A and B are shown apart, each in its own frame.
Chain A
Amino acid sequence: MAQEAGYTPVTRAQIAAFRRRLAKYYGAFFVFLIVFTIVLYLLERAGLPHRFIGYAFIFLTLALYAFIGILNFTRRLDEYYVAGRRVPAIFNGMATGADWMSAASFISMAGTLWLLGYDGLAYIMGWTGGYVLLALLFAPYIRKFGQFTIPDFVATRYGERARLARLVAAICAIIVSFTYVTAQVTGVGIIMSRFFGLDYRVGVFVGLAGVLVCSFLGGMKSITWTQVAQYIILITAYLIPVTFLSAKLTGVPFPQLMYGRALSEITQLEQAMQLSSYVQPFKQALSNASAIASFKQIGLTPPEPITVKDWVGTPWEFLALTLCLMAGTAGLPHILIRYYTVPNPKEARISVGWSLFFIWLLYVTAPAYAAFSRWEVLKNVVGQPIASLPAWTASWIKTGLLTINDANGDGILQYSELRIVGDIVVLATPEIAGLPFTIAALVAAGGLAAALSTADGLLLVVSTAVAHDIYAKIINPNASYSRRFLVSRIMILIAAVLAALAALPRLALIVQIVAWAFSLAASTFFPVVLLGIFWKRANANGAIAGMIGGLIACVVYMVGNYIDPRFNVFGLSHLSAGIFGMAANFFLLIVVSLATAPAPKYIQDMVDQLRIPVGEMRLPAPGTAPGTAPGMAPAGQD
């Protein structure tokens, strides 16, 4: 068995040598990407049709992912689940960045800011601030625990009822991750159809193939090294167009600094047009518009339209949403497992810093996209004769992302006659900046990389929750390694096909569910993992009650408020339902733990060990500790 499961210890010198070698490979890859883009640009000028440029980018990137996937084929469980625990901090940071930033971050983030103004910044702060909690309270301890999955952590820490705790945690992980992966597959289909004119359904299946080539053969090992490449593509593709746009509009190629000018121009234009201000906070009323749209799509009778304006102008929703997104970030299984893959807890601490730095690069730029394109629209589109709109508008009106309707028939476009779908903000920027099609194709490749990398990480969580947690640990603890691999790979295939089937009808509800995934993660995993690490008195009864109660409280508020916004506390929307789930989880976890017997001594010793940042965990062998279920061997030493 040694060949399949032996754990290779890594020394500091080995990590450093490995890091240098990786830096060389990925540096060469970055240079290649730039040269490739320039060559295609020259070919474009020589008359190569746009269609072929688009295909060149899709095939190059998919071939690259497949190449990395095949190169990392593995027969070892620790490589398949946790990349052999030898990923250097900085590369794990890039992989986490790609794992984290999905199609939503890449395409929809800037659009959300365009539409919501200041209120959209709750996402920027929530999705970055969560990493502070992750670094200080989770990552080093998760690494120290040194298992394969998050249900592993829950089952080991709450070992008195290992099977039940594992089952509940595995089900929560599947619910959170599966809905999320469906949205990624939807994102792939949209990118394929918008940029390359492929049919949406064809796009979904091409994307699916792209996901499978990297996760199927090498599991976490190949996913990690693919994600690093995907991060490089996505960040390059994100930064180039807006840098050129900033240079064009302000003369200075630093969009993150120069969009201040765009904001003040926007404010003046808005005053002149008597629009509500973009930077004015807390403008959102509660409404059930999206519930109505979803109900209609599924074919149910939609609820009556209701709008609640009582809470406009109060900061509660903004603050609660920020907290939910932060706690959700720290509780999402596909992000937590990335910190199993670094060599030791000290690397885990630094690695979260790198993760957030790489994510920060995109998030500090997203508001610039929104501000520049809003400036362009208010200055050059609104108030212009419809006959002489800028050239870039024509192609986007065709896609339906931009709708103009001269309601009063005066031949001039008023702001109220314009309707914009948020995704256009990133997608149209290359054209607004007057960049060649090659750059637009690069942006599409970046969006594809963002969607695929997140889908990979999520699919692995779904498949391991079934293959490792439910099959190998609960149903058949004596399964051989080859059997476990077989089940893992079959599960990846099944989960990927199910996600594609769920993505085919393109339900609006799916995007909604992704926003909910954060509340669900905050209501289930966040309190249980946090108190599991920091509070010895927390026991299995408390954890199971907390997870179930948190899930129920969160779902009840979510569904109730989604359908009828009059059902609210302090004007909090369904997006912030995690506040209630989290509160219920903490309350039940504490009260039930105190009301029942403390965790056995060996578990309390385990919590003490967690605090020592050197050495692997010493866990009791299966069956020797009272109350441990069979098959409870520490995963890293299986």
Chain B
Amino acid sequence: MASTPAVDTARLEAYWREHWRLILTLLAIWFAVTYLHPPFAASLNNIKILTGFPLGYWLSSQFSITVYVILIFIYALTMNHVIDKKYGFDEEE
């Protein structure tokens, strides 16, 4: 791989701002699915879903961790195929 190209400051700053918008959005979702439901798990458990899962238990054991996988792929695909491209960081090496 060639060494890092010189990039003018304005383009780098715009790129970095857009990158922050994406990761802050994703981190907000990460925070919500991690911390907002466990405090209410006891009440949520009264609701039964699918094959009989208590909702509070299901949110922690399946929902949150599946959202994590999706969040990472959204991040990787958006960065690689949308944001990097827009700012010209996708030349074939």
A and B are interacting partners: yes
**Which residues of A come within 8 Å of B, CB atoms?**
9-12, 118, 121, 124-125, 128-129, 131-133, 135-137, 140, 256-261, 263-265, 267, 279-282, 315, 318-319, 322, 326, 343-344, 346, 349-350, 352-353, 356-357, 360, 363-364, 367, 608-609, 611-618
Contacts of B10 in A (CB 8 A): none
Q: In the complex, what residues of A have CB within 8 A of residue B45's CB?
A: 279-281
Given A264-B48, A346-B80, A364-B65: A281 in contact with B72 (beta carbons within 8 A): no
Question: Binding site of B, secondary structure by majority: helix, strand, loop or mixed?
Answer: helix
**11 sample A-B contacts, Cβ–Cβ < 8 Å, listed by A number:** A11-B93, A12-B93, A128-B68, A132-B27, A260-B50, A260-B52, A267-B54, A322-B35, A353-B73, A615-B4, A616-B2
Chain A residues within 8 Å of B64, by CB:
125, 128-129
B64 to chain A minimum Cβ distance, whole angstroms, is 5
Inter-subunit contact B3/A125 (CB<8 Å)? no
Number of interface residues of B (CB under 8 A): 53
Known: A356-B72, A363-B65, A615-B2. 17 other contacts (CB 8 A): A11-B93, A125-B65, A132-B68, A260-B50, A260-B51, A279-B57, A281-B56, A318-B38, A322-B38, A346-B84, A353-B72, A364-B61, A367-B61, A609-B4, A611-B15, A613-B89, A618-B3
In the assembled complex, the CB of A624 is this many whole angstroms from the nearest CB of chain B, namely: 16
Could you tell me the distance between the alpha carbons of A176 and B10 in the complex, rounded to whole angstroms?
41
Q: Chain A contacts of B1 at CB under 8 A?
A: 9-10, 343-344, 614-616
Chain B residues with CB under 8 Å of A135's CB are 71-72, 75-76
Task: Decide: A352 near B2, CB < 8 A? Known: A124-B60, A319-B38, A614-B90.
Answer: no
Q: Which residues of B contact A612 (CB under 8 A)?
A: 4-5, 7, 12, 89
What residue of chain B has the Cβ atom nearest to residue A278's Cβ? B57
B82: min CB distance to chain A, Å: 12
* 40-93 of chain B: CB within 8 A of chain A: 41-42, 45, 48-54, 56-58, 60-62, 64-66, 68-69, 71-73, 75-77, 79-80, 84, 89-93
On whether the beta carbons of B68 and A356 are closer than 8 Å, the reply is yes
The answer to whether B27 and A124 have CB atoms under 8 Å apart is no
Contact of A279 among B34, B54, B62 (CB under 8 A): B54
- Which of B12, B53, B56, B65 is within 8 Å of A360, CB to CB? B65
Among B54, B60, B79, B84, contact of A263 (Cβ-Cβ < 8 Å) = B54
Are B3 and A615 interface neighbours, CB within 8 A?
A: yes
Contacting pair A344 B72 (CB below 8 A) = no
Report the bound CA distance from A170 to B30 in whole Å. 31
Closest to B11 in A: A612
**Cross-chain contact B76 with A258 (CB below 8 angstroms):** no
B52: contacting residue among A137, A263, A322, CB under 8 A: A263
Interface-centre pick from B56, B57, B73, B93 (highest chain A CB count, 10 A): B57
Cross-chain contact B79 with A616 (CB below 8 angstroms): no
Residues of A within 8 A of B80 (CB): 346, 349-350
Chain B residues positioned under 8 Å from A611 (CB to CB): 12, 15-16, 19
- Given A612-B7, A613-B89, are A132 and B72 neighbors across the interface (CB < 8 Å)? yes
Residue with the greatest number of chain A CB neighbours at <10 A, chosen from B72, B79, B80: B72
Say yes or no: B79 contacts A349, CB within 8 Å: yes
Return B35 CB to nearest CB of chain A, in Å.
6
| A-chain residues with CB within 8 Å of residue B72 when the two chains form the complex | 131-132, 135-136, 349, 352-353, 356
Question: Measured between alpha carbons, how far is A624 from B52 in the docked complex, in Å?
Answer: 66
Residues of the A chain whose Cβ atoms lie less than 8 Å from the Cβ of B41: 118, 281-282, 315
Are B23's CB and A136's CB within 8 A? Answer: yes
B50's closest neighbor in chain A, by CB?
A: A260
Interface contact A319-B26, CB-CB below 8 Å: no
Q: For the complex, give the distance between the alpha carbons of A125 and B51 in Å.
A: 21
In the assembled complex, the Cα of A132 lies from the Cα of B26 at a distance in Å of 9
Contacts of B51 in A (CB 8 A): 257-261
- Known contacts A125-B65, A356-B68, A611-B16: A349-B3 contact under CB 8 Å: no
